[in-house]
Amino acid sequence: MKVLILAPEFLPVRGGIGTYIIELIKNMPKDIQIHVLTPNQQSLKNVTCSNDSSSKKRDEEFLDKIAIHYVGNSNGDFFSNLKFQLNCSKHVPSIIKRYDIDIIHSESTLPDLFLNPKTIKIPIITTIHTTIKDEINSTKSSDTSFSDLSQSEKTMVFFSFFLKFLENRYYARKRYYITVSNWMKNRIINDFQKIQPDQIEVIYNGVDSNIFNPSEKKYAKKYFPELCDVDTPKILFLSRWVERKGIKYFLNAIPKIIEKTDAHFIFAGPKNNNLKIPSKNCTFLGYIPQEKIPCLYALSDIFILPSLYENFPFTILEAMSSESAVISTDVGGIPEMITHKENGLLIKPKITEDVVESVVHLAENNQLRKELGKKARLTVEKKFSWEKIALKTRDYYQKVIENENTLD
């Protein structure tokens, strides 16, 4: 079977979609021939995915077993995505013909927006990581003024009517879908009336527990020496600084937390808005290269993601796999990952006092933190391994192709 993956994000990894594509390819059975169409971002020589030698070998094997087709350039902004959509419409038909592609696997940034499944004559599967409608609504629900939004959020809100129109147009055409949570499947069925339940397969996101594991803490002295000397519980926020991640409510909680207990707060991820970090008990690291992230999770006692909207975030899976105790909100597909008080804590979104109470509770209870972390890793190993997820995806490819052949 020959699969063409449309990858608006690829290497170097800068977000969840890139992680999803790369890990799926790495773990795909050998009987699948994979082609990747992606914009050129930067040299692959600068990409390192792990400190573990066996994982580095897998990365090299991963690059050797696929064909990468670069079209255009991207810096990750709104207009780069539009250019990639146009490039896909131009190049995909010729790639299908030249390499006898059997199926296309797209992503929910709609790279195949200008491709009509009827004209290319092979099935398209789209993995739905998020929807434009939900991202816009969650940004607006944050009660943040337009001037304080990040540039990407401003663009999305400003063009919201047009973007929603394009999204509705996209989902009106016949495609097949993978959603990474049951919550999102129900959401899609309710929001897009032309999509039927039998067009959607639920296949969760995964995590590589060999890369994200508590033993990665041994690299902390090399990468984060200033944090190794901190002897109070370390709370990590690792995400993009966008309003739907609930960063504002976490920042508001920090002074109240410090009044009640000793803790140190670590912020990682690009900051592109006007929010200010408290000066006391906080370290801002900014963007962290991929090879350093596993030891940052392992170094942290608590991971927090107080989002207003999520589907099935990789950061939570990575923190769980690293045995960091997780605090997050009961939104989207997160309750399908975390069972409250069993392998993490769930709180309500936009409630600063809930953030304070949960962080203080874990910061002052070392035994509970360890128990939650260990049970979280067991959950990951049992339910969210990439090997199982890749096999399910391959089986879905086959099911869709057979269904299309039956219709013909």
Question: What gap in Å lies between CA 189 and CA 339, rounded to an integer?
Answer: 25
Residues 359 and 401 in one domain: no
Across residues 156-162, what is the average pLDDT?
84
pLDDT for position 331? 96
Residues 280 and 176 in one domain: no
User: What pLDDT was estimated at residue 82?
Assistant: 86
- What number of other Cβ atoms are within 10 A of residue 125's Cβ? 21
Per-residue confidence (pLDDT) for residue 53, from 0 to 100: 47
Q: Are 368 and 362 in contact (CB under 8 A)?
A: yes
Residues 366 and 402 reside in one and the same domain? no
Whether the pLDDT of residue 5 is over 80: the answer is yes
Q: Are residues 124 and 257 in the same domain?
A: no
Check whether residue 194 and residue 281 sit in a common domain.
no
| Number of domains, the chain | 2
The torsion angles phi and psi of 382, rounded to 5 degrees, stand at -80, -40
Non-local (6+) Cβ contacts of 395 within 8 A are none
Torsion 269-273-275-276 (CA) sign: positive
Residue 48 has a pLDDT of 39
Mean pLDDT of 286-313: 93
pLDDT for the residue 16? 84
Identify whether residues 242 and 362 lie together within a single domain: yes
pLDDT digits (tens, 9 = 90+) for 339-360: 999 999 999 999 999 999 999 9
Q: What pLDDT, on the 0 to 100 scale, is given for residue 404?
A: 84
**Whether residue 224 sits in one domain with residue 274:** yes
Whether 280 and 378 map to the same domain: the answer is yes
pLDDT at position 407: 63
Q: Do residues 198 and 86 share a domain?
A: yes
Residue 219 CA, distance from chain mean position: 24
Same domain, residue pair 177 and 253:
no
- Residue 238: its pLDDT value, please? 94
- What is the predicted pLDDT for the residue at 59? 59
pTM listed for this prediction: 0.89
pLDDT for residue 315: 96
Task: Return the pLDDT at 123.
Answer: 94
Q: If you search the block for the tokens 């999803």, which residue do you land on?
A: 20
Work out the mean pLDDT of the chain and round it to a whole number: 88
Using the predicted structure, report yes or no on whether residue 179 has a pLDDT greater than 60. Answer: yes
Residue type at 91? H
**pLDDT in the model for residue 367:** 96
Report how far residue 406's alpha carbon sits from residue 349's, in angstroms, rounded to the nearest whole number: 46
Does residue 271 have a pLDDT over 60?
A: yes
Residues 223 and 194: beta-carbon distance below 8 Å:
no
Q: CB–CB of 208/386 below 8 Å?
A: yes
* Strand stretches in 180-299, DSSP E: 200-202, 234-238, 264-268, 282-286
More confident position, 378 or 168? 378
pLDDT tens-digit map of 73-114:
887 677 788 899 999 999 999 999 999 999 999 988 899 999
Q: What is the CATH number of the domain that holds 367?
A: 3.40.50.2000
* Higher-scoring residue by pLDDT: 127, 403: 127
The C-alpha atoms of residue 4 and residue 177 are separated, in whole angstroms, by 15
Helices in 46-177 by DSSP H: which ranges? 53-64, 78-99, 117-120, 132-140, 151-158, 160-172
Q: Are residues 266 and 347 in the same domain?
A: yes
One domain for residues 40 and 126: yes
**Whole domain around residue 18: which residue ranges?**
2-206+385-407
